[in-house]
């Protein structure tokens, strides 16, 4: 079954991760390709993300998707809020009738070690310790989902997003977002190796 993970988050919000095993033709039969995506693998990821929107809510109106200057896709009338992510052979989407949402999936890779200083701030002193790669990826993933939830671009990951605490028991991260003065609760799951974070607020 290509549905790798699926969850009804609350009454109006649903999330799914799809393991991509189909050829492009499968998705092109279901999803209109609005933007030109030249790289075949990226195109397949892009199409799968779009496919998931109607998979989660069958009346999702593809033809009304607009792309903001920040490159965030959205619906003008906000009939649905949605967020999409892809990594390797996986695509994920979260869709809500009422709440703003952000999602990110990542495969741990050395890349996050290299950019660590760009996304972890001085205030996050509790993170100044050796961090295992999967945990560091989780922290990056968490900040990416806040960025996508916010949707307006112009976020300084070090200064604007402050990771306060990880609760590994219930798989949540407390985050303070300076741009909106919101205390947010990120949800996460480590599928090992795939990491998932999402935010609904």
Ligand X SMILES: CC(C)(COP(=O)(O)OP(=O)(O)OC[C@H]1O[C@@H](n2cnc3c(N)ncnc32)[C@H](O)[C@@H]1OP(=O)(O)O)[C@@H](O)C(=O)NCCC(=O)NCCS
Q: Which residues bind ligand X (CB under 6 A)?
A: 46, 49, 70-73, 83-86, 104, 115, 118-119, 144, 147-148, 151, 153, 155, 157
Closest separation in Å from C-beta 185 to ligand X: 19
Nearer to ligand X among residue 90 and residue 173 (C-beta)? 90
CA distance 100 to 36: 27
Cβ–Cβ under 8 Å, residues 96 and 82: yes
Closest separation in Å from C-beta 169 to ligand X: 26
Nearer to ligand X among residue 11 and residue 135 (C-beta)? 135
Query: In 3-state terms, what secondary structure has residue 80?
Result: coil
Nearer to ligand X among residue 94 and residue 173 (C-beta)? 94
Nearer to ligand X among residue 4 and residue 104 (C-beta)? 104
Q: Is the dihedral of CA 32, 1, 86, 164 positive or negative?
A: positive
Closest separation in Å from C-beta 165 to ligand X: 21
CA distance 20 to 163: 32
Cβ–Cβ under 8 Å, residues 178 and 155: no
Closest separation in Å from C-beta 195 to ligand X: 11
Q: CA 165, 157, 117 angle in degrees (round to 5)?
A: 85
């Amino acid at each position: 079954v290509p549905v790798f993970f699926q969850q009804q988050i609350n009454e109006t919000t649903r999330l799914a991760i799809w393991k991509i095993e189909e050829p492009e033709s499968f998705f092109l039969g279901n999803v209109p390709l609005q933007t030109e995506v030249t790289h075949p693998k990226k195109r397949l990821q892009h199409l799968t993300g779009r496919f998931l929107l109607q998979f989660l809510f069958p009346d999702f109106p593809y033809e009304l998707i607009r792309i903001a200057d920040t490159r965030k896709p959205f619906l003008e009338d906000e009939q649905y809020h949605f967020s999409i992510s892809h990594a390797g052979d996986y695509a994920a989407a979260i869709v809500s009738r009422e709440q703003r949402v952000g999602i990110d999936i990542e495969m741990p890779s050395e890349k996050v070690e290299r950019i660590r200083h760009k996304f972890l701030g001085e205030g996050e002193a509790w993170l100044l310790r050796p961090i295992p790669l999967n945990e560091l990826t989780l922290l990056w993933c968490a900040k990416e989902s806040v960025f996508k939830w916010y949707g307006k671009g112009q976020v300084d990951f070090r200064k604007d997003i402050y990771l306060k605490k990880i609760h590994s028991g219930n798989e949540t991260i407390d985050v303070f977002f300076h741009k909106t003065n919101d205390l947010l609760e990120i949800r996460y799951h480590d599928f090992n190796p795939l990491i998932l974070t999402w935010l609904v607020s």
